[in-house]
Amino acid sequence: MKVLITGASGHVAKHVIADLHHDHDLVLIGRRHPDEVRPGTQTELTFIRGDLTTPDDCKRAVNGVDAIAHIGANNWHSADTFRNNTLGTYYLLEAAREAGIKRVAFASSNCALGHCAPISGPFLPDRLPIDETHPSRVEDNYGLSKLVNEQTLDAFARGYGIESYALRLAWCWGEEEYRWRFEKPFEAGNHRGGFWAWVDMRDVAQAFRKALHAPSMPKAACVPLYINAADTMADEPSAELVERFYPQLANQGEQLMDHQSLFSWQAAQASIGYQPQYTWRS
């Protein structure tokens, strides 16, 4: 399979490239080559220097590819985040439509739920664990860009049969994040707004691989999937975290076993066979 990977110089793309390059023909696109960032990554893979918000760059990038791992985006809030992320996805999908591409694995975010940067006040989930049926209540431009991109992908599924999986990634951990976790005592209160969700980069790569190779859907759609570790990043058991920080949901928190994540990954397992393999605890 020939796969286009967008955002090739980014943190997540680095690990997806490392996982796929042994048995896939990869084409990379980005504003910067992977060896131009720190820490740089040397690669001899085909690289296209381009901007996804430029339609002609998207057309060059999709030429001859079978599927797309769409990772390129502004990865947090900025004045340009919404424009960049939503317009880049639209132009990429327009190019994919013209090229006849039928499978996209998209790096969405669990911030599409609305909990990452609420403006009106703290985000309180309706129920636990949180799954894909939980309504989104986004207020920030980053989470909104991810949610709009999922809607764009769904529109292209309905209109043109492009199947996609929107991988709602938790905080992605590589070596630097693991070091951070052990540098000093962990303060659970500092991470209550993210519900202590995280995911190992190797599991992120697993999710992309499985999304790219999942069987054809009975009906084309954009399928959102939470991708996270099976456990939280906190020391305390999950039921204790909920009782302490979200007492309104304490009765539901009691159903969480040990350090079980507050985000369910069961839909990802059912849809693409994803199963988290890594924990920081061992």
What is the pLDDT at residue 32? 92
What is the pLDDT at residue 183? 92
CB 210 within 8 A of CB 274: yes
- For 101-119, the pLDDT digits (tens) are 999 999 999 999 999 999 9
Q: Examine residue 39 and say whether the peptide bond preceding it is cis (omega within 30 degrees of 0).
A: yes
Provide, rounded to the nearest whole percent, the portion of the chain with pLDDT above 70: 99
Residue with tokens 């809607």: 151
What is the pLDDT at residue 40? 62
CA–CA separation, 86 and 148 (whole Å): 7
Range 207-229 average pLDDT: 98
Domains recognised in the chain with CATH numbers: 2-175+195-229+262-272 (3.40.50.720)
Provide, rounded to the nearest whole percent, the portion of the chain with pLDDT above 90: 94
For CA atoms 251, 191, 175, 212, give the dihedral sign. positive
Which residues pair with residue 6 across a beta bridge? 29
What is the pLDDT at residue 234? 98
CB 205 within 8 A of CB 171: no
- For 21-60, the pLDDT digits (tens) are 999 999 999 999 988 887 667 688 999 999 999 999 999 9
What is the pLDDT at residue 252? 94
As a whole number, the mean pLDDT across the chain is 96
Range 199-216 average pLDDT: 98
DSSP letter for each residue of 44-58: -SEEEE--TTSHHHH
155: Cβ–Cβ under 8 A, 6 or more apart, which residues? Answer: none
| pTM, entire model | 0.97
| Lowest mean per-residue pLDDT among 9-13, 137-141, 142-146, 196-200 | 9-13
Query: Cα 190 to the chain's mean position, in Å?
Result: 22
CA–CA separation, 88 and 109 (whole Å): 16
Task: Provide the 10 A C-beta neighbour count for residue 188.
Answer: 16
Task: Provide the 10 A C-beta neighbour count for residue 176.
Answer: 10
- For 237-273, the pLDDT digits (tens) are 999 999 999 999 999 999 999 999 999 999 999 999 9
Helix intervals (H) in 136-257: 141-160, 175-183, 201-213, 238-245, 250-253
Nearest to 41 by CA among 51, 26, 52: 26
Task: Provide the 10 A C-beta neighbour count for residue 206.
Answer: 24
